[in-house]
Structure formats: structure tokens, C-alpha cells
A and B are shown apart, each in its own frame.
Chain A
Amino acid sequence: MRKKFVFISIILLAAVFLSGCTGAVAWPGLSASGDVAYLANTNTVYAVDAKSGKQLWKFSGESSGGIFSFGKSPNMYITNPVLTEDGLVIVLDSSSKHIMYALDPNDIDLEKQTPNIKWKFSEVKGLWIAPPLVIGDRLFAPNSDGKVYVLDLADGKSEKQAIEAITVSESAKEEARLWAQPVTDGERLFVTSLDKSVIAIDLKTYDVLWHKDLGGAVPGGAALGADGMLYVGSLAKQLERFDPVTGAHEPVLETKGWIWGTPVASGDNLYFGDVEGYVYSFNTADGTLNWEAQPDSAITASPLVYGDQILVATESGGVYSFNADGDFDEWYKPADKGKAYTTPVMAGDFVLVAYLESDYYLVALDAESDEKWTFSGK
């Protein structure tokens, strides 16, 4: 009997072990302000000194309470932390607890080395995937439940209430998952949705001004070009140009693969990648393709404009440097394994790249792409 007990235990353990073959479920979120980088990785948010790579603090939020806890699941931080003008760090727990925390890094619990919570908000029904957008004293937070929650940042109450929840799509509630940070032109808020649509919201009245279908889910955000137009890529393998006032739109470029990351504007040019591994430079002034190039593997991150270079991180872990003509070389390659899905950021003098399935979470690179430090959360 004991043998059979052991046998079945082994089988169940093997099932758990093999189920781990799925690997990570999400890539890390990364942002920076001044000399501090904020990394949202699995169940912890880290603040890291960009000069030294030393951890300043970490935050895990409410305990999951172990496997016997009812009503709770492990914390999951995958969304880029967002900084407010008054220094709060907004972090989102993407687990089923759906909690948004506003952390005050100037108020550190010295014993736990974690910032105290200024307020938290959890009155949502879907996962937090999109980073919120700060506009003045308001926070616009898109959620996977298809609503944009508007929170008053000036309010310091511990249990924060949304002042407004804008339902962007009544017709397809289950599909209207909002995964990307919104963008604004000062009058309107532009929201993209997995229900294949782009929505414009009036920033004063919160009315939906227009709601347009793209024919493909939009996991990334919209970008405002130097020409004042709105550019959106989708899984329909097209870059679309929108009139931000009327919502009139047209495809301006066919791509080889899904456009996942948010395009980045620099001057008249728009840079973005696709999951087939192509990088595109699109001229918004004349509506033509400057160049396209394929370094190696899938690109989900947005490019980073770094001086006169365009840096692009790829799934294989490489970071490629492109010049204005589309010539590129491998700028950085991790010595070991690692996948780069997250958009690199600038912090202080360094470029920071976040890795998944690597020995370290974060690497800092100088202008010559030399490693200055790595951070592994230990």
C-alpha cells in the first residue's frame, strides 16, 4: 500500500513539475525616473539605484497566504510602475486580487525596507495589464474588464474610490480587454482594446467621442506622430493612421507580422517592431516606409530612441542598434540565456534591459553597451 501511495505521489508531483514547462506567465514591467529604476517582476516590485544597481526597496503587497488561503492568489506584478508628479509610485497587482497600490517612497518602513501604502484601489473586475496614465491630478487606468477607471490623485484616502469608470465597449464586454497605456493629445484620451478597436474619450466629459474597429486585436498602445495624427498597430498586421478628432482612419503600412509594441515617434519618423522580428521606420510626413530590417526574433517591446540610435530588444535577448538608414548591429547580447520582451528604459546614464528566464532580472549598459551591473533581486 505504501508503494502505491509513493507511486501516486510521484505521479502528482511529476504533473506539477511538468506543468511548469509552460515557464513564466508574464514578462516584467520596467520604468525609470531620474536615477531610480522600478522593476515589476513576478511577485515583487523593486526600486533599484541605477548608478550602482543596489536595491533601494522592494514591495510585495498583501500576502497570498499560502495554498490554503481562500479568496487569494499569489501576487503578480507585470505592469510598468508609473510615477506621479508628487513622487508616488503606482504599482498594479495583476493577480485575481486586482489591487492598485500608490506607494510613497519617501515614507519607508525601515524594518521591512518597503514603502508604505498611501492608498489602494481594487474596485475592478479584470486583471491589471495596462500601465495607467497620469494627467494632472487624475489617473486614467484601463483594466481588462473593459473600463477605464479615473482616480483623483489628490485624494489621500486609504481606500480609494474611482470617480468614474468609462465603459469603452458595451457590445463586447468580455473581449474589451484594455492592455496598453492610453495616450493623450491634451483634449482626448486614446485607448486601445483587444476587441480590435480604438476609442477616443473626451478628457473633460469622459464621453466616448469615437470608437473605431481595426480588424485585429490591439495589445499595444497608440502613438501621436509629429503630424498630429494617431498611429496604431494591431494583430491585423497593419499600421493605421487616425484623425484624432474624427476617428477617420486608413491603413498606411502592411507589416510582416503582428504589431505588438507601441510605436515610438522621433521627429517625423515612427519606429516599431513586429512578432516576425522586423523593425520598421515609417515617415509620417510623407506616409512612406523609410526602411525595414529583420535582426533575429520576435519583437514585443517598443524601440528606445537613444541619441542618434534606435535600440530594439528582441525575444532572443539581443539588443540591436539601428541608425537612421536602417543599418544595424548587435549592440548587446547576454552572455547566457534570457528573453527580452520588455521595452528598455533610460535611467541616469545607462540603458536598462529587463530579462525573462535569465540569471538576472535587469542589466545596466553604458553608451558602449558594456555591462555596468546586473540585478537579480537578491
Chain B
Amino acid sequence: MKNTGNQTQAQRPELPQGFATESLKTIAVIAILVLAFTNFSAVINFVVNILIFIYTFVGKNFGIAIILLTVLIRLVTWPLNAQQMKGAKAMQDMQNDKDWIAIQKKYAKDREKLAQEQMRVYREKGINPFGSCLPTLIQFPILFALIPSITYAIGSTPLSILKLSNSLYSFQDVASLVPLNSKFLWIDLGLPERTIIFGVGIPILALTVALTTYIQSKLTMPVSSTPGDQSAATARMMSIYMPVMLFLFSVNYASGLSIYFVASNILSIVQYALMGKVNWRNLLPGGQKS
């Protein structure tokens, strides 16, 4: 810390410019999240209207509409995802930083002091510890709203159509939209999908969700050169945990949501590939060790 000779200035903590900006971003994200969740029905209505608009535009095909909505969400959140990748990379690089390793060893038994020192290192290097998760957090209102939106939009009961009519903005001609076409390929998007094979209902779409989630998490998992790297261990754990969770989710929810998950996973791989961050070798047995 510089000593300017000015008492007031000397007492004020000196933050790197980047860190101050990141803090403002954190506050902005929290404010947006609070606003979104206190007006959650408005967020749902917004997503429903976009979905219905696309549905009308593509000739009443909800499967295509959901895929295009996913593309749209991916495009809108592209900068956020890029920032998340950058933040994750910075946090990973930090694991190899000499200062960082030193304070981990030095204050291993004093958690409070360790936390203070970690914050100091973050400040000095201009890293926001929330930098990798804030872009993800800001997408949550949209992701959460997608579930009820898809349920509303492809509802197959009288009440869901009535609710849909209340959700749509005045420029949408609901009467001409009814009945909504919930069929896409062999799937009724308003219901959990099961394909009967030899008399047994197999959730093919849910299995596809699990498979694409696994592939996506494997391909986008960073290669770690540090033994015992905690973030790499978490990533490995998540590559198992997420496919299982999303499979259970997809088995029970409207299959329209599964279409979103599959499309989102594929687009995520595409985005990582375009940014040169896909690790194809991760898919090979033992590929991650190399």
C-alpha cells in the first residue's frame, strides 16, 4: 500500500480498478436477481411471450421454437458465459500462484486469517472470487422461468390454455394459436417422454439429456496440472452429479424442457469449441490425466 502522506487517503483501502468494477457488477447482479425473483411471474410471462412469438414465426412447431429460444438465450448470455470462463480460468490459475500456495500452507490452521489473506491476494490480482459464478447466477431467473414457461406454452389442459391467454401480451393473437401443436418428432412436448420398446417405456429423451450433459461437462472440464486441484475435483464430481440430476428432472417434467437441456448442452459445446476451450481428449479413457 502506498503512503501518500495524507492520513485520510492512507486509511482508505486501495483497490485495484478491476476489483472495484467487479464489486459493482456483483451488486448489480444481486439487484437484478432480487428484482427478477420478486417479479417472477413477469419474467415467466416475458419468456412465454418470446416462446410463443417464435412458435408463430416458425409455423407452429414447438420443438423448433424451444431450440431457437435456446439459441437466443445462448447468444444473449454469450458475453456472460465468456466472462464466466475467464473467471474460472483466473481462479484455476490462482491455484498455481506462489503467493496463494504460501498462504494456504501458512494459515492452514487459522481459517479467519486465511480468508483475510485470500481476499488480499484477490484484491492485489484484481480477481473477483464470484467472477465465475455471477454470470451463471444472472441466468438463473431465465432458466427457472423456462420450466413454467414451457409448461404454460404447451399445456394440454383447459386451465393451461386459460393461463397462457392471461400471460400473453396484447399483440399476440391467442385465439388463432389454439390449439397449440405440442407434437415434435415422436414426442408430446407437454408430457414426460417414454418410448415403448418391447413393451417397456424407455425415457430416451431423458437419457439423451444425461448423455449430452455428461459429454458437455467432460469436454468443457479444464485440464489440471496441479495434483489435488480442488476445482478440478469439483468439476469431475459435477460431471457425474449433473447428468444424474438432469436425468431425474427430465424423466418427470414435460419433455419440452428436455429439448431445452439437449439443445443447451450442444450449444454450450459449440461455444467452448469456438473459443478453443474444448478438451476432446477428456472423452477418452484416462484422457484427463494427460
Contacts and interface: CB of A to CB of B under 8 A. Distances in A.
Nearest to B237: A1
A15 B147 contact: yes
Contact of A19 (B148, B179, B200): B148
Contacts of A260: 158, 162
Contact of A258 (B143, B151, B165): B165
Given A19-B148, A71-B194, A94 B157 contact: yes
B200 A236 contact: no
Nearest to A177: B179
A356 B160 CA distance: 13
A217 B175 contact: yes
Interface string A2-17: 0011001001101110
Interface stretch (A24-32, A223-231, A325-333, A370-378): A24-32
A71 B252 CA distance: 11
B237 A194 contact: no
A93 interface: no
A96 B163 contact: no
Contact of A25 (B40, B143, B157, B194): B157
Interface in B141-159: 143-145, 147-148, 151-152, 155-159
A140 interface: no
Interface centre among B156, B201, B237 (most CB of A within 10 A): B156
Contacts of B179: 175, 177, 194-195, 217
Given A1-B234, A144-B156, A258-B165, A19 B194 contact: no
Which of B143, B151, B162, B242 counts the most chain A CB atoms within 10 A? B162
Nearest to A66: B252
Given A24-B159, A219-B161, A275-B165, A71 B175 contact: no
B159 A25 contact: yes
Interface in B202-246: 202-203, 230, 233-234, 237-238, 241-242, 245
Contact of A217 (B155, B163, B178): B178
B163 A22 contact: yes
A18 interface: yes
A341 interface: yes
Contact of A27 (B159, B200, B238, B241): B159
B159 A26 contact: yes
Contacts of A129: 157-158
B256 interface: no
A144 B180 CA distance: 12
Chain A interface residue count: which class? 35 or more
Contacts of B147: 15, 18-19, 22
Contacts of B163: 22-23
Contacts of B238: 4, 8
Nearest to B199: A71
B251 interface: yes
B96 interface: no
Contacts, number: 121
A21 interface: yes
A18 B40 contact: yes
Contacts of B203: 70
A298 B158 CA distance: 13
A219 B148 contact: no
Interface string A211-237: 000001101000000000000000111
B63 interface: no
A128 to B, nearest CB: 11
A341 B159 CA distance: 9
A174 B200 contact: no
B151 A25 contact: yes
A12 B252 CA distance: 14
Nearest to B257: A19
Given A22-B148, A67-B248, A96-B192, A258 B237 contact: no
A249 interface: no
25 contacts: A1-B237, A5-B237, A8-B238, A8-B241, A15-B144, A18-B144, A19-B144, A19-B148, A22-B148, A26-B157, A27-B158, A67-B252, A70-B201, A71-B202, A72-B201, A73-B194, A174-B183, A179-B158, A194-B178, A194-B179, A195-B179, A217-B179, A260-B158, A275-B162, A298-B162
Q: Which 8 A-B pairs have the closest CB atoms?
A: A71-B201, A19-B147, A194-B179, A22-B148, A26-B157, A217-B178, A18-B144, A235-B175
